[in-house]
Amino acid sequence: MDALLIVDVQNDFLPGGNLAVPDGDQIIPVINNLQKKFRILVASRDWHPANHGSFASNHPGHIPGDVIQLNRLEQILWPDHCIQGSPGAELSPLLNRNLIQRIIFKGTDPEVDSYSAFFDNGHKIETELHKYLQKKNVNRLFITGLAADVCVYFTVKDALQLGYKTFLITDATKGVNMKSDDTSNALTDMKQKGAQLITSGQVPDFLTK
């Protein structure tokens, strides 16, 4: 079975948000259009408590972009974003949410960040995503969303490791580019690790039905 995964299309990652991905809003119509082609649709949401260790504001003397050690893991510090219950943590109202069957919340532990929709950054705690996809007999994952060089990147790598045939839909993702070539490096690495990079227009040809 094929599934569409929509990563973190939340207000804070869109223009005007606290951690805006440049042109992040441009992918929303592309994702809305893709949705009709799938029967299994899952979305993830970054869902941080206000005291989250990835926020620069919780580390006096640090600013976003600094890198620290957070419980022995290298951690880039971000502006406050996707705080549980805040408007910035909502899925974009422009995203069609009617067809999404399951939402995966991540990043709830203040001690460890969680870029991937499958695991925390220490690969210790698993979300319910893999179990859900297994229950639905999903073997091929089509991945979209934000940000291409952070949460999408880590989700794609975990999907490959878990054995999914993994497609990244290149016009349905955008990168934050904290460093200017982060997204191109991430795309190259995903491809090198076995992800198929395709455009939304190619999707019908790839669907098993």
Size of site (CB under 5 A) for Zn ion: 2
**The one among 147, 156, 186, 187 contacting ligand VGL by CB under 6 A:** 147
Residue 146 engages ligand VGL in binding (rule: CB under 6 A) = yes
Residues in contact with Zn ion, shown as a per-residue x/- string from 43 to 62 under the rule CB under 5 A? ---x----------------
Which tokens hold the place of 114? 């969680």
46 binds ligand VGL (CB under 6 A): yes
Q: How many amino acids of this chain bind ligand VGL (CB under 6 A)?
A: 9
Whole-angstrom distance, CA of residue 139 vs CA of residue 120 = 22
Give yes or no: 82 in active site: no
Q: How far is CA 68 from CA 56, 62, 79, 83, 133, in A?
A: 10, 9, 14, 21, 34
The whole-angstrom distance between residue 3's C-alpha and the CA centroid of its chain comes to 15
In what helix (H) or strand (E) does residue 197 lie, and over which residues does it extend? strand 196-198
106 is catalytic: yes
| Residues β-bridged to residue 143 | 5, 168
Cα–Cα dist 40/63, whole Å: 40
Binding window for ligand VGL (CB under 6 A); candidates: 35-43, 89-97, 142-150, 191-199 = 142-150
Residue 43 touching ligand VGL (CB under 6 A): no
Give the footprint of ligand VGL on this chain (CB under 6 A).
8, 13, 19, 46, 78, 146-147, 150-151
Which residues form the catalytic set?
Answer: 8, 106, 151
